[in-house]
Amino acid sequence: MPLPDLGEVLLQKAEQDIYVLDKMAGDENAPVEVFGFHAQQATEKLIKALLARNGVVFSRTHRLGELVDLATDNGIKLPAGIEFLVDLTPYAVEYRYDVTFDESYDELDKDDVLAQILALRSWVAGV
């Protein structure tokens, strides 16, 4: 039995995070750090799917900037606005597990983040 294509698996996994984001976006009671976590995860999986589709080997990292740099270094064009999503990196670990509150939680615009992720998903799906 052939192994599933890694790029497609990552796209499917990103869809799961996008589903959660869509449900949380309109819920003012949804914790921002949980929304941010799934936003970071969706972004990470989408970038990794793009890398996999282009035959680029990547490490197990949550650092979105590192993944964007890897794509750029390999001549893979990324959509405008990706810099905005790179700022989600702290939601993967630091904001997920740290007890200390960071005011940047309040600055996360759920609708804008979701729109950027959907745009990235369309970009990756079209490549």
Between residues 4 and 64, the one the model is more confident about? 64
Q: Are 49 and 69 in contact (CB under 8 A)?
A: no
Mean pLDDT for the stretch of residues 4-20:
94
- Closest by alpha carbon to 76, among 60, 55, 102, 101? 55
Is 32 in contact with 105 (CB distance < 8 Å)? yes
Query: Domains (ranges, CATH) in the chain?
Result: 6-126 (1.20.120.330)
Helices (H), ranges, 3-109: 6-25, 32-53, 64-73, 82-86, 94-97
Structure tokens at 38: 């799934």
Dump pLDDT digits (tens) for 24-43. 998 989 988 899 999 999 99
- The residue ranking higher by pLDDT, 104 or 66, is 66
Residue pair 113/86 in contact by the 8 Å Cβ criterion: no
DSSP at 75: T
The predicted-structure confidence for 81-121, as pLDDT tens digits, reads as follows 788 899 898 898 777 776 665 555 557 889 999 999 999 99
Q: How confident is the model at residue 122 (pLDDT cuts 50, 70, 90)?
A: very high
Tokens of 83: 């810099």
